[in-house]
A and B are shown apart, each in its own frame.
Chain A
């Protein structure tokens, strides 16, 4: 079983829809990251969370430490949001654990 589970694996949305991607983890963590990987392969760190909620433009990330769960929300989705979104947690030891990613396609 992976330390980090994401859902859904694949997601197709119409432009303008509100999108939610979920991440559950089973290890103790000190921080959680949401990453974005574009078709070209480059990876960008969108958020780092250790508690509560963060907002950046149309992106919102929340984390519930007690429930070991985080969500990434995209409001007013746009085709340029199409990418793979990866949840990563910094657990005990010196490494990140990664979810397998959620592939998002936003259709115009």
Chain B
């Protein structure tokens, strides 16, 4: 049972290009969360999605960032016209139900995607 799969692990983009980060949740998990970790800072919530629905995007920058979790396929975090300040590690986590309050350690993180903007 594979864990949360994120790809690419490392992505280099030039300013103005687009970055697409993918996250496949654990089997049986229907809730996906994206977090950003800027250099020397802690994790920050970006967006919470269920299949075909954005539940909470209060942590997403208003421009250039978007996320989706289609019926089929992975969740995608898309950053258009990247700038140097977008350089960060982007983590995806999944859980089988909202709130991750049931069971033990139901929130599972991916290994992260490290975006470098030149």
Contacts and interface: CB of A to CB of B under 8 A. Distances in A.
Place the interface of chain A in its size category: 20 to 34
Interface residues of B, number: 29
Given A48-B101, A95-B33, 10 more contacts: A33-B100, A41-B89, A41-B114, A45-B108, A90-B99, A90-B100, A93-B58, A95-B59, A97-B45, A99-B42
Given A41-B89, A90-B100, A98 B42 contact: yes
Contacts, number: 70
A41 B45 contact: no
Of A33, A86, A90, A94, the most chain B CB neighbours within 10 A belong to A94
12 contacts: A33-B105, A41-B114, A43-B109, A45-B109, A48-B104, A93-B58, A94-B55, A94-B99, A96-B33, A97-B45, A98-B35, A98-B44
Contacts of B58: 93, 95
Contact of B111 (A35, A41, A96): A41
A86 B45 contact: no
Nearest to A84: B42
